[in-house]
């Protein structure tokens, strides 16, 4: 190896700051996965989870089964059934509120959050209302900004909901809820005002024949 090549290697190593997650001890894998799933806002595949904790896919599958039983109160050693569950959706795993507690959680969120939405939330809500069903990636493409936190806010307010998960891409598609219709005083999204006349060229991210 020449001095020049050695210099290039050294420089590359110095500038490469990518950090590889440290492997999690076998005894802590279940708890590590639980922590990751608690903050995930989209379903996570087994491979993604295995990479995150630095463990074999087979071991992670076993850990997921343990967590499902634990959350459901069916663990061999005994556990309490939680108000949330670990559910497989679109080839990935995510923590969800149990169906029987949906109304309680929705009511709490609506009481705790201020009624006024931010400009970003209003714009994102408009995109979803007019383009539903639509994925988070498509929303971000139209608005040209990251919309993760705004989508979570709208979900928490009960103004939008997850309609389905694309079987090919795994992307969640969103739509509006009856609560939004009630807030707007309309019976369906078909009654939303047409926006094409308000756009400079009738497009700008929306179809020309949009409502």
Return the number of other C-beta atoms located less than 10 Å from residue 76's C-beta.
8
- The answer to whether 149 and 118 are in contact (CB under 8 A) is no
Burial environment of residue 60 by CB neighbours within 10 A (0 to 12, 13 to 18, 19 or more): buried
- Residue 37's pLDDT is what? 93
Write down how long the chain is: 211
CA 23/CA 165 separation, integer angstroms: 31
Token pair 């931010």 in the structure block, residue: 118
What local confidence, expressed as pLDDT, does residue 201 receive? 54
- CA gap 135, 133 in Å, rounded: 7
pLDDT at 150: 92
Name residues whose C-beta falls within 8 Å of residue 153's C-beta, 6 or more positions apart in sequence. Answer: 113, 117, 118, 121
CB of 81 closer than 8 Å to CB of 51: no
Q: Give the number of other CB atoms < 10 A from CB of residue 145.
A: 13
Under-50 pLDDT residues of the chain: 1-18, 202-204, 208-210
Please tell me the predicted confidence (pLDDT) of residue 191.
86
- Rounded CA-CA distance 35/49 in Å is 11
């Amino acid at each position: 190896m020449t001095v020049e090549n050695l210099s290039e290697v050294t420089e590359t190593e110095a500038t490469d700051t990518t950090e590889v997650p440290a492997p999690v001890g076998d005894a802590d894998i279940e708890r590590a996965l639980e922590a990751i799933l608690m903050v995930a806002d989209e379903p996570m595949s087994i491979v993604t989870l295995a990479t995150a904790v630095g463990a074999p896919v087979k071991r992670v599958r076993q850990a997921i089964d343990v967590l499902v039983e634990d959350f459901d109160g069916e663990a061999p050693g005994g556990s309490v059934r939680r108000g949330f569950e670990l559910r497989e959706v679109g080839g990935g795993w995510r923590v969800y509120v149990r169906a029987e507690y949906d109304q309680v959680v929705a009511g709490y969120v609506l009481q705790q959050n201020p009624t006024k939405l931010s400009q970003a939330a209003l714009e994102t809500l408009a995109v979803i209302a007019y383009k539903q069903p639509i994925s988070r990636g498509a929303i971000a493409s139209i608005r040209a900004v990251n919309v993760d936190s705004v989508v979570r806010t709208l979900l928490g307010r009960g103004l939008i909901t997850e309609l389905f998960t694309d079987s090919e891409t795994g992307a969640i598609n969103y739509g509006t809820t009856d609560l939004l219709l009630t807030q707007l005083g309309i019976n369906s999204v078909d009654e939303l005002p047409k926006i094409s006349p308000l756009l400079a060229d009738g497009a700008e991210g929306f179809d020309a024949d949009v409502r």
